[in-house]
Amino acid sequence: MRRIWGCVCLVGLSLTALALGPVRDEAVDLGVLSRIRDEGFNRSKVMDTASYLCDVIGPRLTGSPAYRKAHEWTKDQLSAWGLKEARMEAWDFGRGWTLEHASVHMTQPTPAPLLAVPLGWSAGTKGAVRGKAMKVKLESEQDLANYRGKLTGMILLTGEAPTLKVHERVEYDRYSEEELEELSQYRIEPSRGAPGSPGVNFREEYARRRQFTEALNKFLSEEKPLALVAAGGNDGGNVRLIRGPQRAGESSPVPHLVMAAEHYTRIARLLDRKIEVELELDLRVKLTDQEEKGYNTIADIPGTDLKDEVVLLGGHLDSWHPGTGATDDASGVSVVMEAVRILNALEIKPRRTIRVGLWGGEEQGFLGSRAYVTQHLATRAEPTDPEERKQPEFMRRERGELQLKPEYSKFSVYFNLDNGTGKIRGIYLQGNAAVQPIFEAWLKPVADLGASTTTLRNTSGTDHIPFDSVGLPGFQFIQDSVEYMSRTHHTNMDVFDRLQREDLMQASVIMAWFAYNAAMRDDLVPRKPMPPQNPERRPPSE
Ligand SMILES: [Zn+2]
């Protein structure tokens, strides 16, 4: 067993209040790394885990029976691998919705099967129903007034037909060395929310859209069109969900479908030629009568001398429903489960407790990870300004004061994986300069696996955000996109076949290695300075 020593940058540490104190070299245990690599590359179960989630359990929309089954199965599986206190922690969600059947056909002018998927929480139809297709633009109150009384029984094509172009380049993407170098350079973000900044308009635009959505839903319940149809975000038979007028956990007034672009454009061209188009829809959905619980699957590898302190790894177990949620985010869940399976198989006795958190409700706004933060770590007081209180949390300019729970001071770090199947190329530091030399020391001996980049840039859009927003270290890794944006993200083709075995094995090894290092180092992972209006926390070396 050999230890190597990473370089610690004094300048980086002195920049943050909480990193003050004794400066140490960051030691890493290469003997343990060899064992992690051996277990992760030679006896991997990551694809088996992912296949069970995708193929056997299937899509896992929050609040659906399959979603609950996924939490139960992961809890049981983690227990079977020897993790301790595997449990499901519940939080309030809303009504559950499951898609049971969707069949969409053109019946006039010529018959044709059509590829279309209802949005989550869409209404169903009462058996097979037929209606005439009609192009509409429902984007303003004036549009609604113009169409009043004209839409009953119609199937509405909303939005312009997309222009489809030939795919000139390969839609498979990995970071080049130049792109990673560029990513490592800091970029000052445009300001949001300060007076005179673009953020003010963004907020007004959000309020305007919210108001319009309410008006649109009221209009649709009165007008009773048979359905709304939008073009899916991709082409090539790839149907990507779009944002609909209904909110998760609440039913929509009429069925709302997303259709494959090529089928949508054909109908649009027929209508442009003034040829009548009749469609037949048969949509069976199940909306539960009662409010469902959301869950987080939690399980631990108990720590030893620092067992009250927690290193947390996570991904989200919920998915959208058109595919089987393979790259979003069975991949992250399988990697996190594999990382703790590896560490447990090696009978590692970590100093801190290594905990798995498999979240629900990520797709509806990080609901599970937020619930974990609220239940265990910190809550925020409501803003004092009544206008601010009306805003959703992410739009508020005034953030309420943090109220810390006892576990807050014992929390070390959260590592998240939720950017598809692509292997880990490095890590976003969320502006936390003090962690850079530490993570660089951990990445150095896995550089041969392609992971070596750190960037102080922020990334957003997934479950590290609730931790970061209460001042705790929460990080998402930099991952190769592979086919995430071109093919799988929120589409009907987000399925097991798109998962890349070598990428997921690499990510599992790096996740296990990061968890091990965070659990073994003397101090907690350094935190960013808290915003001044919020209470101070203890320094990491306390
Ligand atoms: Zn997603």
d(CA 402, CA 288): 35
For residue 434, give its domain range: 2-96+291-371+412-520
On whether both 364 and 218 belong to a single domain, the answer is no
d(CA 193, CA 394): 11
Ligand 1 centroid to Cα of residue 489, in Å, is: 7
* pLDDT < 50 positions in the chain: 1-21, 532-542
Ligand 1 centroid to Cα of residue 37, in Å, is: 29
Ligand 1 centroid to Cα of residue 488, in Å, is: 10
On whether both 280 and 337 belong to a single domain, the answer is no
Ligand 1 centroid to Cα of residue 308, in Å, is: 32
Q: Is residue 176 part of a domain?
A: no
Say what the pLDDT of residue 15 is. 40
CB-CB contact of 208 with 183 (8 Å):
no
Best CA proximity match to 237, nearest among 489, 490, 491, 54: 491
On whether both 219 and 354 belong to a single domain, the answer is no
Say what the pLDDT of residue 539 is. 38
Dihedral, CA of residue 209, residue 214, residue 215 and residue 216, to nearest 10: 80
Ligand 1 centroid to Cα of residue 133, in Å, is: 31
Burial of 62 (0-12, 13-18, 19+ CB in 10 A): buried
On whether both 416 and 461 belong to a single domain, the answer is yes
Half-sphere exposure of 359 (CA within 13 A, CB side): 31
Domain boundary, last residue among 237, 271, 287: 287
CB-CB contact of 339 with 348 (8 Å):
no
Ligand 1 centroid to Cα of residue 46, in Å, is: 20
Ligand 1 centroid to Cα of residue 420, in Å, is: 9
Beta bridge partners of 353: 310
Say what the pLDDT of residue 320 is. 96
> Which structure tokens are listed for 421?
């199947």
Ligand 1 centroid to Cα of residue 144, in Å, is: 31
Ligand 1 centroid to Cα of residue 285, in Å, is: 21
Q: Is residue 255 part of a domain?
A: yes
Q: Rounded to whole angstroms, what are the CA distances from 283 to 103, 104, 126, 224, 316? A: 6, 8, 8, 16, 28
Q: Rounded to whole angstroms, what are the CA distances from 363 to 79, 252, 464? A: 26, 18, 13
d(CA 311, CA 518): 7
Ligand 1 centroid to Cα of residue 524, in Å, is: 30
The CA angle 217-201-456, to the nearest 5 degrees, is 110
On whether both 212 and 233 belong to a single domain, the answer is yes
Q: Is residue 134 part of a domain?
A: yes
On whether both 242 and 358 belong to a single domain, the answer is no
Ligand 1 centroid to Cα of residue 500, in Å, is: 18
Ligand 1 centroid to Cα of residue 173, in Å, is: 18
CB-CB contact of 529 with 19 (8 Å):
no
Q: Provide the CATH number for the domain around residue 107.
A: 3.50.30.30
On whether both 104 and 92 belong to a single domain, the answer is no
d(CA 337, CA 345): 12
Q: Is residue 189 part of a domain?
A: no
Q: Is residue 183 part of a domain?
A: no
Say what the pLDDT of residue 16 is. 40
Ligand 1 centroid to Cα of residue 201, in Å, is: 26
Say what the pLDDT of residue 246 is. 65
Ligand 1 centroid to Cα of residue 361, in Å, is: 10
Q: How many other C-beta atoms can be found within 10 angstroms of the C-beta atom of residue 474?
A: 26
Ligand 1 centroid to Cα of residue 85, in Å, is: 28
d(CA 521, CA 5): 13
Domain boundary, last residue among 287, 303, 320: 287
Ligand 1 centroid to Cα of residue 421, in Å, is: 13
3-state SS class at 239: coil
Ligand 1 centroid to Cα of residue 65, in Å, is: 19
Ligand 1 centroid to Cα of residue 242, in Å, is: 11
Residue 248 corresponds to which amino acid? A
SS (H, E, C) 19-57: HCCCCCCEEEEHHHHHHHHHHHHHCCCHHHHHHHHHHHH
CB-CB contact of 239 with 322 (8 Å):
yes
Say what the pLDDT of residue 191 is. 62
Beta bridge partners of 280: 105, 130
Q: Provide the CATH number for the domain around residue 444.
A: 3.40.630.10
Ligand 1 centroid to Cα of residue 330, in Å, is: 11
In Å, how far from its chain's centre is CA 88? Answer: 19
On whether both 89 and 131 belong to a single domain, the answer is no
Ligand 1 centroid to Cα of residue 493, in Å, is: 13
DSSP for 179-208, please give it.
HHHHHHS--PPPP-SSTTSHHHHHHHHHHH
Ligand 1 centroid to Cα of residue 319, in Å, is: 7
d(CA 456, CA 184): 7
Say what the pLDDT of residue 3 is. 38
Neighbours of ion ligand 1 (CB under 5 A): 328
d(CA 489, CA 239): 10
Write out pLDDT tens, residues 93-133.
Answer: 999 999 999 999 999 999 999 999 999 999 999 999 999 99
Best CA proximity match to 237, nearest among 327, 116, 132, 349: 116
CB-CB contact of 249 with 93 (8 Å):
yes
On whether both 154 and 298 belong to a single domain, the answer is no
Ligand 1 centroid to Cα of residue 381, in Å, is: 28
Ligand 1 centroid to Cα of residue 35, in Å, is: 33
CB-CB contact of 325 with 489 (8 Å):
no
Cβ burial 338-367 (10 Å sphere, 16+ → b, else e) = bbbbbbbbbebebbbbbbbbbbbbbbbbbb
Give the H or E element holding residue 142: helix 141-147
On whether both 419 and 341 belong to a single domain, the answer is yes
Domain boundary, last residue among 237, 255, 287: 287
Q: Is residue 122 part of a domain?
A: yes
On whether both 57 and 105 belong to a single domain, the answer is no
Ligand 1 centroid to Cα of residue 363, in Å, is: 5
On whether both 226 and 212 belong to a single domain, the answer is yes
The total of structural domains in the chain comes to 2
Q: Is residue 386 part of a domain?
A: no
Ligand 1 centroid to Cα of residue 122, in Å, is: 18
Q: Is residue 516 part of a domain?
A: yes
Ligand 1 centroid to Cα of residue 422, in Å, is: 15
d(CA 154, CA 131): 5
Ligand 1 centroid to Cα of residue 475, in Å, is: 17
